[in-house]
Amino acid sequence: MAALNHAFVNHDARTAAERGMRVEGIDQLAAGALLYRFVQRADVRDDTCSASPWWFQQSAVRRILEAARMGHRGEDSVAGQAARMAALSATWPRSGANYLLAAKARAPLAFFWGAPRPVGKRSATQTEATGLASGDDIHSLEHIPDPRCTQFFIPGLWDPALSGKAIRVVSRAKFSHSADLADGDIDTFLRQTGG
């Protein structure tokens, strides 16, 4: 079955994906597949969240939650681990990880996948951090992400006519209020957020 967003899978979309990750391939999600996003606030509308092309699979989220539990590199908060491992810059609007948003694909969707790029600034005058390629002249570095924290870039979700047909938000979970997460059961937490 053709992907709902097949018309958006082109050179421009790949270029946009490459600004945030090292594109390693292209694949297709089945209808009903779960996707995850870290969000800063719970009051951001579902259509705003679903309009972002950047998503994670469950294994990447589990890796981040486990790193927070172990206090990897001295950081025991999920927000801190998500920022570092998934390369979420503090300079990006609505960037943060106080909540985990889960969504389901309503139809088959094509996506680029790959490891997140390091995040930083190329010059002293740059105000917003960007994904940095290995050959960049780097002024400052904000995050070096975990290359195993695979990201998905779903072309076309920025189009409101497509995003509502493509993604349905099924839950939002606040990390600090989750008894399952606090008690150590990451898999139960992820099952509950998956709707």
Which has the higher per-residue pLDDT, 8 or 187? 8
Specify if 192 maps to a domain. Answer: no
Specify if 193 maps to a domain. Answer: no
Determine the pLDDT at residue 97.
77
Tell me, rounded to whole angstroms, the distance of Cα 121 from its chain centroid. 20
Determine the pLDDT at residue 11.
97
Determine the pLDDT at residue 173.
80
> Residue 54: pLDDT above 80?
yes
Max mean pLDDT among 33-47, 58-72, 90-104, 158-172 falls in: 158-172
Buried residues in 132-143 as b, exposed as e (16+ CB within 10 A): beeeeeeeeebb
Specify if 109 maps to a domain. Answer: yes
Determine the pLDDT at residue 28.
97
The residue type of 118 is P
Specify if 195 maps to a domain. Answer: no
Question: What is the domain extent for residue 100?
Answer: 6-183
Share of the chain above pLDDT 90, in %: 33
Determine the pLDDT at residue 142.
67
SS3 call for 67: helix
Determine the pLDDT at residue 43.
63
The closest alpha carbon to 116, from 56, 38, 63, 50, belongs to: 56
Specify if 27 maps to a domain. Answer: yes
**162-188 tens-digit pLDDT:** 998 999 988 888 777 555 565 667 877
- For the beta sheet containing 99-105, the strands, ordered from the edge strand earlier in sequence to the opposite edge, are 21-29, 109-116, 151-153, 54-56, 34-39, 99-105, 167-174
Domain count, the chain: 1
Determine the pLDDT at residue 140.
76
Share of the chain above pLDDT 70, in %: 85
Specify if 26 maps to a domain. Answer: yes
Specify if 191 maps to a domain. Answer: no
